[in-house]
Structures are given as C-alpha cells and as structure tokens.
Amino acid sequence: MLTKADQFAEPLALLAEQAKALSHPARLSILQILAERNSCICGELVEDLPLAQATVSRHLKALKEAGLIKGEVDGPRSCYCIDREALASLQQRLNELFEGVLRESSDLECC
C-alpha cells in the first residue's frame, strides 16, 4: 500500500524516517549510552533508563529499523552498538538540508 511519504524522493524519505527514529528522548538517551560504552547489552540499558525492558526493546527496535544502530541476538541476550557510518551520513544529510534551507531563506522576511 502506497503512502503519501512514498511520493517523495527516497533520500528525503530515508532522512525523515531516521529523524523520526530520533524524535523520542529515550532513543537519544540510548544513543548516548551506547556511545559511552561502545557496545551494550539490552539488560544493561534497562538499568540506566527509567523504562521497562519491553519499552527499551521497542526503542532499540525503532533505532535498528532506522539503521542507526546494529544489534545481534545471542540466545537470551541482545547486544547493540551504534552504526557510526550511518550516523555520520545522517549528520551530513541533515547539515546539507539545513544549509540549503537557510541559504534559500536568507533574504526572506517573515512576520
């Protein structure tokens, strides 16, 4: 089933999906924790967040589906880490987007 988002260019749609994945403070906190530890087991994340295991798992799933983290399931344990290449690409694409928006609107006068 096609959605309205499917009518936009793929790079813009991907950027929107990744930005959406970052739109929750728990997910931003998860990224910070993963960056500090350089890898993490999901159970350890639960100890650092004011959230239930199931909630943390849902947030990890959203970040993984957006391609911002990598994860492996090893029996009852799940190990996650940041996908540095994906985050660097996201940062570059956001910078390009905002630079273009600011450049185009530099002469615009608004309320």
Give the chain's largest Cα–Cα span: 58
102 pLDDT exceeds 80? yes
Q: Note the CATH architecture for domain 20-96.
A: Orthogonal Bundle (1.10)
What pLDDT was estimated at residue 6? 77
The span from the CA of 8 to the CA of 6, in Å, is 5
pLDDT band of residue 111 (cuts 50, 70, 90) is: low
Q: What is the pLDDT of residues 7-60, one digit of tens each?
A: 888 889 899 999 999 999 999 999 999 999 887 777 788 999 999 999 999 999
How far does CA 11 lie from the centroid of its chain? 15
Helix axes 25-37, 53-65, angle to 10 degrees: 80
